[in-house]
C-alpha cells in the first residue's frame, strides 16, 4: 500500500470524521461535513445539493 506524502497535508482527511469541519445548509438544515472534493472551495460551499441551490430564493432567511 503506498504511503501518503507528508508534504501534502489534508485539511480534514487525516482527522476522524467527528473532528472534521461542518456547516449547515441554509435551505434544508442538513449538516455538511468536510469532503476532500471541497478542500479548495470549502469557504464557498453553502448548499448541500443543486436542488437546495436552486431553492435558495424560496428559503426564509437565506441570502441570495
Other beta carbons within 10 angstroms of residue 27's beta carbon come to 22
pLDDT of residue 23: 93
pLDDT of residue 36: 87
pLDDT of residue 15: 76
Q: Locate the domains of the chain by residue range.
A: 20-54
Give the pLDDT confidence of 6-57 residue by residue, as tens digits: 555 555 557 787 788 899 999 999 999 888 888 899 999 999 999 999 998 7
pLDDT of residue 63: 56
Separation of alpha carbons 20 and 37, rounded Å: 14
Determine contact, residues 57/64, Cβ cutoff 8 Å: yes
Amino acid at each position: 500500500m503506498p504511503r501518503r506524502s507528508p508534504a501534502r497535508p489534508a485539511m480534514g482527511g487525516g482527522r476522524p470524521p467527528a473532528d472534521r469541519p461542518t456547516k449547515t445548509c441554509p435551505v434544508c438544515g442538513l449538516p455538511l461535513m468536510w469532503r476532500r472534493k471541497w478542500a479548495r472551495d470549502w469557504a464557498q460551499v453553502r448548499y448541500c445539493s443543486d436542488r437546495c441551490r436552486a431553492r435558495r430564493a424560496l428559503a426564509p432567511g437565506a441570502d441570495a
